[in-house]
Amino acid sequence: MDLAGGYFLKMMVFPADFDLVGSGEAYGNCGSFFTVGCLNVDAHQGMNLDGVDMEGKAYIERHKQSCHRPLCPTCWPDWDNREKDKAATRLKAFVLKGRSLKPIHLIVSVPEADYGLSVPEMREKVYRALKRVHCLGGMMIYHSKRERKSDGSWYFSPHFHIVGYGWIQDVRKNYLESGYIVKNVGIRKTVEGTIFYQLSHCGISAKHHAVSWFGALSYGKLHVRYDEKEDPMCPICHERLRRLLWIGPGKCSLPEIDGGVFYDDPSNWMEKPRTRWIGED
């Protein structure tokens, strides 16, 4: 059978057998560096930045190009970081009767009899199991595979990681009634670290979000305002930063440090003709 046919067959038998984070292909420019900055030197006259006299100097930042796609082998950590920050904000926004609670980390395993279900169908059953063990709500991260200890290969073994709240009881009763095993595994050092790690090997599909929220933390029940990302600005004159092109002698020698800040002679640079935002292309 050809490869595409095999894939089709696999998805018919196990529609939830998603690909792992980072297992796709990068774009040509993923991980390459670009420059933004401010050439507005007139407005930099007589200004200081961290004790440096900015007179006649352009403000320069180096950034790594990222597509922010979870399947990209180069850029998935950027996707993971953004998702982790949003999720941590949402988790911390939940209070019960004016009190913050200690987050918990659970694993819910799908029984083999349900391996043929779709992810939304699995989620529904997992949610019911979570209610039975008195989980109040939280985030679900879907893992389609587990790693074989012997050789590090991955095999289809659907389960969900939950970071949320509650005081877990009736685990055994739930298992006997539903066949779904709930394990209370505990948070790593930090909630952020736990979420980042769980997202780093979750199952990815174009049709489903990697993270879903349920119970008291669902979108219908908990309203959270997320910080809007502001347009990057020049810290000296507060103009919007522009994409820059090197027009100085030889090759641009600025080091490739993501977020690196430099000051330079403005005659080495010109604004890239079409204005774009950071990370847009």
**Which parts of this chain interact with Zn ion (CB under 5 A)?**
26, 30, 38, 40, 67, 72, 74-75, 234, 236-237, 239
Which is nearer to Zn ion, 30 or 162 (by Cβ)?
30
| Angle between the N-to-C axes of helices 76-93 and 191-199, in degrees from 0 to 180, rounded to the nearest 10 | 140
Which is nearer to Zn ion, 74 or 109 (by Cβ)?
74
Which is nearer to Zn ion, 71 or 119 (by Cβ)?
71
Q: At its nearest, how many Å lie between Zn ion and the CB of residue 78? A: 8
Q: At its nearest, how many Å lie between Zn ion and the CB of residue 200? A: 15
Which is nearer to Zn ion, 184 or 268 (by Cβ)?
268
How far apart CA 268 and CA 142 sit, in angstroms, is 49
Q: At its nearest, how many Å lie between Zn ion and the CB of residue 60? A: 11
Which is nearer to Zn ion, 49 or 252 (by Cβ)?
49
Q: At its nearest, how many Å lie between Zn ion and the CB of residue 233? A: 8
What residues are paired with 205 via a beta bridge? Answer: 208
What residues are paired with 212 via a beta bridge? Answer: 140
Return the half-sphere exposure (C-beta side, CA atoms, 13 A cut-off) of residue 103: 25
How far apart CA 65 and CA 56 sit, in angstroms, is 28
Q: At its nearest, how many Å lie between Zn ion and the CB of residue 55? A: 12
Asked whether 59 and 44 are in contact (CB, 8 A), the reply is yes
Q: Which residues contact 89 (CB under 8 A, 6 or more apart)?
A: 224, 226, 227
